[in-house]
Amino acid sequence: MTPETVDTGTAARAWIDGWYRAWLAKDSDAIAALYSDDAVFRSLPFREPHLGQKGIAAYAQGSFESEEPDRVWFGEPVAGAGRAAVEYWAILLVEGKPWTLAGTSILRFASDGRCEEQRDYWVMEQGRREPPEGWGR
C-alpha cells in the first residue's frame, strides 16, 4: 500500500487509540511505537523536531515527568489522502494543580499506517476546563 492508498481514517483512529491508552498509562514506548522509524514530530511550530521513535519516546517521557494526566479526549479525525487532523483536549495535573491543554495534531501516515510526520498546535492554561458542547465532532 502506498501513502496515497492508506486508509487514513483507520490509521488516524489507531493513532488516537494508541495515544489515549499510552498517555493515561504514561507509556512513552507505546507512544513511540505509533511512529515510523524515521518519523518527524514537531510538538510546537518553532521547536526543533523530535526525530524517530527514540526522539519521540524521549519527548513523551519528558512530558510525563512533569505532568500527570487526569482526563484525556480526542476528537473525530478529519482524514483523507494519507493525512489527518485530530483535536485533543486534556486536563493535566502539574505540581498538583489542574491545567487544561487543547490542541490539534496534523498527521501524515506511512504506508504501514504508522505516523511519519506530526505537527502540533496547542495552548495550555491553568485551571480545569471541560471541552465545550459539540467539541471534537
- CATH of residue 68's domain is 3.10.450.50
Q: Where are the beta strands (DSSP E) in 95-134?
A: 97-109, 115-126
Per-residue confidence in pLDDT tens, the chain, 137 aa: 444 578 999 999 999 999 999 999 999 999 999 999 999 999 999 999 999 999 999 999 999 999 999 999 999 999 988 899 999 999 999 999 999 999 999 999 999 999 999 999 999 999 999 999 999 88
User: Looking at the domain assignment, is residue 108 inside a domain?
Assistant: yes
User: Looking at the domain assignment, is residue 133 inside a domain?
Assistant: no
Strands 83-94 and 115-126: unpaired
User: Which residue range forms the structural domain that includes residue 98?
Assistant: 3-126
Number of domains in the chain: 1
Q: Which residue carries 526522539 as its cell?
A: 55
| pTM reported for the whole predicted model | 0.92
In contact, 15 and 34? CB cutoff 8 Å: yes
User: Looking at the domain assignment, is residue 137 inside a domain?
Assistant: no
Q: Would you give the distance in Å from CA 123 to the centre of its chain? A: 14
User: Looking at the domain assignment, is residue 131 inside a domain?
Assistant: no
User: Looking at the domain assignment, is residue 107 inside a domain?
Assistant: yes
User: Looking at the domain assignment, is residue 46 inside a domain?
Assistant: yes
User: Looking at the domain assignment, is residue 134 inside a domain?
Assistant: no
